[in-house]
Chains A and B, each alone.
Chain A
Amino acid sequence: MAFAPSNTPSAPPRPTEDIHLPDTARDLVKILVAGPFGVGKTTLIDSVSEIRPLHTEEPLSEASAEVDDLAGVRDKTTTTVAVDFGRISLPGGVVLYLFGTPGQERFRALWDDIAYGALGALVLVDSRRIDASFDVLGLVEETGLPYAVAFNAFPDAPRHHTEEQLRAALDLEACTPMVTCDAREADSSVDALLALVQHLIDRHAPEGR
């Protein structure tokens, strides 16, 4: 199948703030961009999204979110967490959504709701504080989401780690893709997403099983 060349440049222009779905939208899929606070989730989503990233404010205790009366939800002073998301329309009617997902265990109910139906997760790791990503990795694995790890390249990140050391520190399986990326760069972010999607394809490929 041949695709018409996309007219979308790497840094998509966002000429209009109209976020209504294009008429061509058919298959809506999502990938979680997960990681601890400040790791670059919003930055990555912003670098590739065709719409200015949006966010929803989600109540943290799902119990209170179940209240089926709107006034009740609004009056209550529940703790909320902002969940941001972006969107990329791809040729062939596919629309890819990226959800910035905080990975703390206390966000579990929210996590499960966001992860429902997701293709997989891109787990961002800040190599200056690897242990901050342990919670996220635990959640991803519990949820059973296939994932790839992207080290976000901060300028003062230590460079002396070998890939084997990082893999061991994160306790990753040999088949889990590991890439470095600069979340501020669209191409770099796309490469990280591609590493994940290729991993998803390989998992389903009959060979190598």
Chain B
Amino acid sequence: MTGRRGGRPLVPAYLSTGGVARPSRPHLERLSVLMGTRTPAPAGLPAAQLALLDALDEGSLTVVEAAALLRLPVSAVRVLAAELIDRELVQSRPPIPPAGRFDPDLLKRVADGLRALKHT
């Protein structure tokens, strides 16, 4: 494969570490939740990845919140997060846990919650 723009090495780090197949990457939505795995960061982690990892030190963030915090476009945070997920330094989950995906009550809970905001 040739013709990559920019100076990224042709062999990505996750392949250079023993040729492990790339784990299947979850699709990262704006509201996918990112969590640190509390694994110590290896030396030599690129600064941008380290910055994201640091932001997750104090708790979970959605992709879009991490982007706002790091002042990066969402597309860039998707890339950084995917790399950290490959390194098993970060975990992600979809915005709604799979078990709750088809909860018919969800809209009602949103409405009730909004009403509660007004009544205080």
Chain A residues near B (Cβ < 8 Å): 1, 3, 5-10, 18-21, 25-30, 48, 54-59, 65-74, 80, 85, 88, 90-92, 94, 96-97, 99, 113-114, 116-117, 119, 186-187, 190-191, 193-194, 197-198, 200-201, 204
Contact = CB atoms under 8 A, between A and B. Distances in A.
Interface of B: 4-8, 29-31, 33, 48, 58-62, 64-65, 67-69, 71-76, 79-80, 95-97, 100, 103-120
A29 B106 contact: yes
Nearest to A202: B107
A18 B116 contact: no
B118 A10 contact: yes
A3 B116 contact: yes
Given A27-B109, A59-B73, 18 more contacts: A10-B118, A28-B95, A29-B31, A29-B95, A30-B95, A59-B75, A66-B75, A70-B79, A72-B5, A91-B113, A113-B74, A116-B29, A116-B30, A117-B29, A187-B118, A190-B118, A197-B111, A201-B107
A99 B68 CA distance: 13
B33 A7 contact: no
B64 A56 contact: yes
B104 A20 contact: no
B117 A88 contact: yes
Contact of B61 (A19, A48, A94): A19
